[in-house]
Amino acid sequence: MSALDAVAYRRAATTIARWCEWYTRDLDPSVAKARRDEVESDLHEHGVYAEELGISPNSLSRAMLTRLVLGAVQDLSWRRRQIRQAATRPEIARNRLSAGGLPVLAYTLAVMLLVWGGFVTIRIGVSLGRGEWWYGSDLPVTVLVSALSCGLGLMLMTRARTRSMGALWLMIAVYGLVRYGGKALVYSSATYSHLAFTVPGWDLGNRGVVIGLVMLFLAMAIWWWPSRPDPRLAIVQTSSV
């Protein structure tokens, strides 16, 4: 049986076709069709080449799905370029405002988060020095590691090539500093402890801040994700099954 007629190949090709249909949705019909035709032709050539080399249908299917995963970011980058090219002037203006405003907000919040981490760390240190800390060592270590992660993330964000990774580091720091930092202040600050136990919805607000900051830094990590050459080279070196 030909590799192109095998069930494994057809299933993989269908999965890739559905992905292509999804990320070309709402685009200009001619552009979307050209992209789908390009992908279909590429998959056919991949199958023919694999058949010539004697690659099994299962190995071919795995290679095709691997290409799908490796090329997902490139596909989304291609979609974004198409949307930008088709955007009207008002849309371009809004995109520029968004591109400029959100990074400034992200940098500002990152600095504020680092300051907060420093404050909490110092407050814990004071409590430990006075012998007032009784909760245990796990919480101070978590806060300290989170503060260091925040500093590292902010440093990575200062460089264009690493700012996406910096935003991902800040996602880790947010939970440690806001959630566990607040918990640490409950045991080291009478004022914070009073607010935490008397203000309605204080814990819910803390969780909301964590979720909001994590979503923001995740959005910035995706926005800043570097564009790379299409990694969809024919992966047909896998051994036959």
Domains in the chain (CATH in brackets) are 3-86 (no CATH), 90-224 (1.20.140)
Across 181-204, average pLDDT? 81
Has residue 31 got a pLDDT over 60? yes
Per-residue pLDDT at 88: 56
Helix (H, G, I), strand (E, B) or coil at 158: coil
Per-residue pLDDT at 101: 64
Q: CB of 110 within 8 A of CB of 170?
A: yes
pLDDT grade, residue 19 (50/70/90)?
very high
pLDDT grade, residue 100 (50/70/90)?
low
Q: Which is nearest to 117 in space by CA: 81, 170, 162, 52?
A: 170
Has residue 212 got a pLDDT over 80? yes
CA atoms within 13 A on the CB side of 219: 12
Q: What is the pLDDT of residues 131-142, one digit of tens each?
A: 776 666 777 888
Token pair listed for 75: 């596909």
Q: CB of 104 within 8 A of CB of 133?
A: no
CA atoms within 13 A on the CB side of 135: 17
Distance CA 43, CA 181 (A): 51
Distance CA 141, CA 123 (A): 13
Instruction: Between 166 and 223, name the one with better pLDDT.
Output: 166
Distance CA 241, CA 228 (A): 32
What values do phi and psi take at 162, rounded to 5? -120, 5
Across 170-175, average pLDDT? 90
Across 13-27, average pLDDT? 90
Mean pLDDT in the chain? 81
Instruction: Between 224 and 213, name the one with better pLDDT.
Output: 213
Distance CA 135, CA 141 (A): 12
Q: CB of 146 within 8 A of CB of 177?
A: yes
Per-residue pLDDT at 179: 85
